[in-house]
Chain A
C-alpha cells in the first residue's frame, strides 16, 4: 500500500526570488549556532566515549596505572569466558521473550483502550499504563524483590491463600528469569502502548467502515487492516524495544545480581562487573563493543525485514 508523490507536485510552482548571499550565510550561521549545544553535547558525551571505548578495548587499564597495549587479548579473553558467553545468550533470550511480551501486551491493550473506552477514560488508562515508565527501575525492582520474596512476599502469601505452596521466585533459575521478565515488561510496555495508540489513531475510520461493508471483522480486520496500517509504528516500537532490552541492567542487578548462578546475568552487567568491580576497563570496553555490534546487527536486520513487512500509506 505504497503511495508515491509525483515529482511534478513536489516541485515549486513558481521560481522563488534568489536570496542575497549574506542572508544565506547568516542563516547558515544561525543554524550552526542552534546546533552547537546539541552537537557539542553529543560529541562530548556520546561520540567521544564511544571512540575512547573502542580504543580502550585494545588496552589493559585499571585507572590507577597507565594503560598497557593488549592487542586482541581482551576479545580473546571474553570469547573464552563461559560467564560472558552465558550473559550474551541470556540477553538474547531475554530480548526475544521480553520484547515479544512487551509489544504483544502493548498492542492488545492499545486496541482495547482505543476501541472500547470513551476518550476521557482513554487518557486515564494511557497515563496509568505509562506511569511505571517514569519510576526508577531500581526502586521498582526493590519493591518487586519484596513482593516476590519467597518467605515473606505478598505474592506467595496470595498463592498460599488459594492453596498453592511457596514458589522460590528469586532463588531458582526459572523463577528468577520469570520475575526479571515480568518486572521489565510491566515497566516498559507503557511506552510501546503510547506509540501504538498514536499509530492506531492515524488509521482513517473510512478504511474500517469500508472493511466492515466488505464483511471484515475481528481477527481478519486486525490482520488485514490494523496490522498493515500500523506496521511503520510497529517497526519503530520494535527497534526501540530491542535496543532497550539488549541493554537491560537495573532489574536483574537489583533483583538477583545475575543469579542464581548466571541465570539472569546480562551483557551490560558484565560490562559493569568487569569495569567498575574488577577494574578491567579494557575488558569492559571489549564487551561493550561486542554489545554495540549486536545492537547494530539487530537493528539492521529489523530494517532489512521491514522492507518486506512494513507498509507506508
Chain B
C-alpha cells in the first residue's frame, strides 16, 4: 500500500506573527517557516506504518510556493520516499487544496491519505474532511491511534467528550491529533540523502483545478489586546480581590 501525506509550509509555531498596520494581512517577511506540526505527525505515522511492513511507499505532497520544496525535503529527510510539489504563489483555500489532492490521489492510488487536522496558520481544520468527501471515502479525523487491519483502519479519535474509535473502510482519509506520535528528527546523513530523493513539480492547472478564492478577505486586524493586571502578594489577597474587586467568587 502507498500512503500519501500532504504537508503545508507554515509560519513556525514559535513565531509571534505581526499584523500589517494597513490591515492587508500578516507580515511574512523574514519569518521562520516550518512544516505544519500536525503534518510532521502525519509523516511520522506514515513512516511507522511503512516500518511495520504495512505500507510500501510514503509520498509527500505540498501545494505552495517554490520554497515549499524545503518542507518536502524535510519530509524526505524524515524518511518519505518521494515528493510532489504543486507550485503556486497564490493563497489556496482548503476546498481547492482538497481538489488538487483528489487529482493526486487519482493519479497515485494510495490506500491511505494522512493529513494534519489543522494548519496552524489559517486554523481551518477542513482539508482532510473535504478530501474524504470529494473522494467518497470514509474519514478518521483527530486521530490519536491508528491501527491498520484487513481492508480497514481503526482510528481512535480525540473528541470533545473523550475518545472514540471508528473503523473506516480502506482507502481512507486520516487527520492527525497531537497525541498520535512524537515525530522524529531528521539525522544529518538523512538530510543529505534527502537532497537526492525524487521531487516532481506540477501546477494546480495540471489537475484542472481553479484555485480562485471563494472567500474575500476584507481585512486582517490585531485582536483586542489584554493588558497585564496586578500581582498579588498572597493567596488571601487573591481571594479578597476576586471577591470584592472582580466579583467572580
> Do A and B bind?
no
Residues of B within 8 A of A (CB): none
